Every structure is written in structure tokens, then in C-alpha cells.
Amino acid sequence: MMRFHPTLPLLSLVSLSSCLASTKLLRLRQVLIIHRHGDRTPITPLIDEDYWKSTLPEPHVLEGIRRGTALLRDDKGYTPNTHKASGCGPFGQLTMMGILQMVSLGERLREELGHDDDYNDDVGVVSSESSNQKQQHQFVNNGRLFTKDQPLHPRRIKVMSTDFPRTIQSVQALLTGLFPDTVTEDDGPIEIDVRDTNSYLIPDPQPRQSPQQLVLESHLSNRPHLKQREEELKHLSHRISKELNQHLGVGAHGISFGIGEEKDNGGGDTTTEKVLSWAQMSEILVCLHSRDILPSNLSSEDVTAVSNHVAWRWFENLRHPILAKSAMWKFANNLLESMHYKIEEDCKPKNNDIAEGNNSEEEKCEPWLRIYSAHDSTLIGLLCLLQLERPTEWPEYGSYIKMELIREEDENNTVHDKSQYWVRFSLNGQVLRSTWCFDDNGEPMSMVPLQDLEDMIHLEHELVDGEDDDSLLKFSWKQGSLTKH
């Protein structure tokens, strides 16, 4: 039997009611948005290539959303993306529908975060509720991030993206909705940082951050309950693969991606490999079903069955803390560092140049808003690493996780240390409670202390076989590194 355990003492349970007095004011200090790209064509090549080309945006549309942005790359310049999920030709590309989705998301974020002219900066009561608590905590500025004096502006944001055309174009479309007025030359272009992002903004980079991760993925995927589930669904996978094989284009069987699903032969094209991976089946079926062009022998129930199994499989593997941290720890640590930079600025004496709107000084500061353009696997990986409530549905195109850094204040607006900071998570506007931090009534908390979140992310783990003293240590996660024993 496999089991894992933390190699440090368990985190102490904390209580929102006991740690956060109802008389305190709360101020939103930073927001981190991690979003999935918009609607795309299938990653797997299909035979009806002309149809999928017709779903792509015209060049002038791409030029329009690109205006006012600039890609930030390494000095060596562009390096071709070799990830099997990057797509080829018209496949794996953002569609016109996807662009419209992302523009709409930008408009939504502008509404959520921008200053509300109907409120003064220091009024507004927003609940930071626990399910068994009646109290409300006051959020200044009505819970908005930007204020009348410091409004949403390009110099107050930073953007990162994986180096996939569909994620870059998605965030360019989002920025179009976020800043409907064209960014001026005085503002300068909004930089989209794609440097090395393919290595850690997704849980299944190719190659992995550590070569041991593929070994761990295989180890976890071969656990008895997963093998039993896949055996039960074997007939379904063979039936659907047989039907889809008639619609596959050249190179379709060379596509290999996903946690625990990469082929040992590197995904090479073969004539004998006819059963598609679950990830491939799901992504093809979703694209066909959304356009009402499913093969006649397949049904919406088939789509649901495959999608549900893929979701279960991903969560079942990635919720294991060692794999979650091997896959997503670097990104999570990057998010923590951003919040710590903002806290350091809070604790410093106030800079009058920044307060008076000195652009050059403000651009040196940690941004108020960070946006990360990525993939559904990124969202799943973070949900598992952060140990948040599992959503009822797989994150659709344009879904986004919002992480809010919240500062606890007294009447003098005094900041002493990071013990005054909390973090709240949501997916598409729905607050996600933690599954490791509880209130006095044993209910998962909707806000967690930043220090406890940091401790949880840096917690170390071991995976062993067996229950007795002779148990064999298989894998360990220590000091930000995965080791196979």
C-alpha cells in the first residue's frame, strides 16, 4: 500500500473568527489572475482542415488585439515551441469565438477591479463570511482593488503568458477588454513576458522540470484503483477511438500530452497505435460537440463520460501533494514572491513620488494586478496544490482563478508585518474555500492567513510503500526538489 505523509509537523488550525477581529478594516492590496485561454480548435489534427481554418480570426483582428502590447523574450529571441499541445497549422489555435470570450473577460475584470464612482474610497461593506458566522468585515473602497486616485492603468499591471499562440492572443484580447481605450505612446506598450514560462506555468511541460516527475506520474497512474477504473472504461475508450480514427488527420497519433498520459516512445506516429489517450479523446470530443458536429455514432453522453473521467483522472493524480508540488511549486512560489514584494512596499515609509503619481517611480513597484495567461491544466494544478475545494465542472475556456491579497488594518491604517495579510481564492467569481484551514466550527475557511498558506506550500512530503518499519521510501519532496529513492 502506498501512503504519503508530511515530514514537518501538521499545520495548526486557525480560525477566522479568533484571528480576524470584526472591528478591523480590510483592504485589497493585490490581485493575481490566472486564466485559461479562449475557445480553440482541436489540438489533434483532423481531416476537415478547411473547416477549422474558417473558425480562426482574420489577420486584421489579430493585429487589432496585438496593438499596444509587446512580447518580452530572452535575448536569444524566439525559440520554437516543441510542446505537443502547441498545435500545428490551424489546430490548437485560438478561434474568433475565443477572442470574443477573452475580450468579455477583460471587460468583466475591469468591472470587478476598477474604481466604482458611486462609492467613496473609504466606504463599503463586503462580507468575508464563514458559513457559520454572522459578522461582516468592512472592505474599504467597496472591496475594489483600484481607487479614484490610483485607477486601473497599464503601469499598474504585469502580464505573463505561456509561449503558445493561443495564450498570447488570449491575453491580448483580454487586455483589449480591460483597456477599451487604446494604450497611448506615453503609456508605452504592455509587455507580455513569455520568458521560460513554458517550463513552469503548466504542470506537464515538455521536458518536465524534473525528469523524475514522469516516473512519479507513471507510478501514481498505475495505482490499483486507477487501473481498475480504466479497465472498467476500456470498452468506452476503444469504441470512441475507433469512431474518431476515421476523422483524424496526418500526425494525429503523434500527439502526446497530459499528466500520466505521455507515451514512452515520445508520442511518435505509429500504425499500430489506434487507441487515443483520454486527454486526446476529450479535447476532440469537446471541440466537435460544441459545434454540433459530433460523428453520428457518438452522443453527448459519450462526451460527458469521457470528460468526467479525464477530470477525475487529473484530480486523482495532481491532488497527490508530491506530484502537485513537483508540477506547480515553482509557479506557486512565484505567486507568493509577488505578494511578499507588495507587503514589503506596504511596510516601507510612503514614497511621495508614488503617491503623487510619478510614473517612473511607480513602474518600479510591485504591480497591483498580475495576469497569467495559461491553460486548463494550469488551473487544475493550482487548485490541487493550493488544496482548494474542487469545482463541480472542468474549467471552461476563459475560466480564471483570482487570488486576492487582503490587508487587515486598524483605524490608523498601520501595517506591522505579514501576519496582517490574508488570501482569498475564487474561480469565475465563486469563492473557493480551503480544505486545510478551518474555523472554530470545523468549516473550511474562505480566507486563509498568508503565513499559513506559505507554510503549507513549503511543507515537505514523503511517499512510501507499506505500513510497517520496513516500508520503502519511493519519492520525497524537500526544499523545492523531487527525489526518487
pTM of the model: 0.91
Q: Which residue has the cell 487507441?
A: 275
Cα distance between residue 278 and residue 307, in whole Å: 9
- The Cα–Cα gap between 119 and 3 comes to 53
Per DSSP, the three-state class of 362 is helix
Q: What is the DSSP string of 270-282?
A: -SS--SPPHHHHH
- The one-character DSSP state at 155 is G
The residue assigned the cell 498545435 is 87
pLDDT in the model for residue 1: 46
φ/ψ of 272, rounded to 5, equals: -95, -20
3-state secondary structure of 174: helix
Q: Is 439 in a helix, a strand, or coil?
A: coil
pLDDT of residue 465: 77
Taken as a whole, the chain contains a residue count of 485
pLDDT per residue as tens, the chain (485 positions)? 455 555 544 444 444 444 555 557 899 999 999 999 999 999 999 999 999 999 999 999 999 999 999 999 987 766 778 899 999 999 999 999 999 999 999 999 999 999 876 655 554 544 454 444 444 568 888 899 999 999 999 999 999 999 999 999 999 999 999 999 866 666 789 999 999 999 999 999 999 999 999 999 999 999 999 999 999 999 999 999 999 999 999 999 888 899 988 765 444 444 345 899 999 999 999 999 999 999 999 999 999 999 999 999 999 999 999 999 999 999 999 999 999 999 999 888 766 555 555 566 777 899 999 999 999 999 999 999 999 999 888 999 999 999 999 999 876 666 667 789 999 999 999 999 999 999 889 999 999 999 999 999 999 999 987 665 556 889 999 999 999 99
Residue 150: predicted pLDDT? 92
Locate 474 and state its grid cell. Answer: 519511493
Is 154 strand, coil or helix?
A: helix
Torsion sign, CA atoms 70, 71, 73, 78: negative
Distance CA 469, CA 388 (A): 33
The total of other beta-carbon atoms located within 10 Å of residue 399's CB is 19
Of the candidates 229, 235, 221, the residue with the CA atom closest to the CA atom of residue 302: 235
Question: Helices 234-245 & 278-290, crossing angle to 10 degrees?
Answer: 60
pLDDT at residue number 142: 87
| pLDDT attached to residue 119 | 56
Distance CA 213, CA 208 (A): 7
**Which residues are bridge partners to 26 per DSSP?**
139, 408
What is the rounded CA–CA span in Å between residue 375 and residue 144? Answer: 26
Residue 194 near residue 80, CB atoms below 8 Å: no
Of 166, 43, 6, residue with least CA distance to 102: 166
Beta-bridged to residue 369, according to DSSP, are 31, 157
pLDDT at 472: 81
What is the β-pairing status of strands 430-432 and 69-72? Answer: unpaired
Contact (Cβ atoms closer than 8 angstroms) between residue 25 and residue 409: yes
Q: Which DSSP letter does residue 434 get?
A: B
Q: Give dist(CA 156, CA 370) in Å, integer.
A: 9
For residues 186 and 69, the answer to whether their CB atoms sit within 8 Å is: no
Identify whether the C-beta of residue 109 lies closer than 8 Å to the C-beta of residue 178.
yes
Neighbours of 58 (CB within 10 A): 9
The pLDDT score that the predictor gives to residue 267 is 42
Query: For cell 511549486, what's the residue?
Result: 329
**Alpha-carbon distance 139 to 153, whole Å?**
22
Locate the DSSP E strands across 23-123: 25-36, 69-72
How far the first Cα of the chain sits from its last, in Å, is 17
The CA-CA-CA angle for residues 472, 478, 482, to 5°, reads 70
**Residues 237 and 275 sit within 8 Å (Cβ to Cβ):** yes
Q: Distance (Å, rounded) from C-alpha 254 to C-alpha 225?
A: 28
